[in-house]
Amino acid sequence: MTYAYRHLVSCIDVIFRKVNDTRNSKELFSKMPLSSNDLRVKAFAVDIDGTLTENGNGMIYLPAVSKMRFLEKIGYKVFFVTGRSSVEAYVLSVFLGITRVAIGENGGVVSKGPSDHTILGNKELCLKGYEILKDHMENVDVKPVFPRMSEVVLQRTFDINEGKKILRERNLDLDIVDSKYAFHINELGVNKAKGLDLALKFLNIGPKEVVAIGDSETDIPVFGICGLSIALGHSDDTVKKHADHVVNGKEGIGLCDAIDYVSLNYLR
């Protein structure tokens, strides 16, 4: 099956190059691969916004879906680790045909079913932080999103560093992170790595057996615990510095590039 997958990847890559001849094999990957003996892949932890989606409007890049579903069919677990709600991510997993475990709210909630949610964050504390920010800053507004169980989601319309400072000065165990989709108020210590760690226990998989793929600062904690981390081409430099590998492709195309890179170098 591995040979078949590699052959499929090669065929798709040839077609893609004919459609877009501005890319070539030297440009596709920015670093030499690590030794395949150092990594035994069992799962892929994938971000959603800016990674699976394209054009900044939540539209899914369909060629990436095909690759993710194929990975599932040949025995690998593929699941979402996202700043969106775990319910959104779980439902998306069902319809895309991938692993039905979802880490949402930047690690604050892990969902294994329509009514099976493990909450890791303190939403009441996050709401308190939101009220303080609203009293001391302008343009602090809640973003219309699906209901959250562990965090507060805000519009990206204020100075995030000033907001963090205000919360620190009041000794609140809170942080504000930027997913590029929104600002998120999360309890300190609650991040994607914490949610992923719990989900992997459910799946009986070790963090070093996971490939993490993402594009924002919220993915950095996951990069730190996984066996291989891949940042997309449009990621900020800070994110790229924390990744083991960086692909040139952006958004959905970058996710395809990341999966191809792993399949050609690490899958057995």
Active site residue 135: no
d(CA 236, CA 263): 25
Task: Give the contacts of 107 (CB within 8 A, at least 6 positions apart).
Answer: 81, 120, 121, 186, 190, 191, 192, 193, 194, 195, 196, 221
Between the alpha carbon of residue 255 and those of residues 23, 29, 58, 232, the distances in Å are 15, 12, 15, 7
From 13, 21, 38, 47, active-site residue:
47
End-to-end CA distance of the chain: give it in Å, rounded: 9
Maximum Cα–Cα distance across the chain:
60
Backbone angles phi, psi at 62, to 5 degrees: -65, -35
Amino acid identity, residue 234? H
Residues assigned a catalytic role: 47
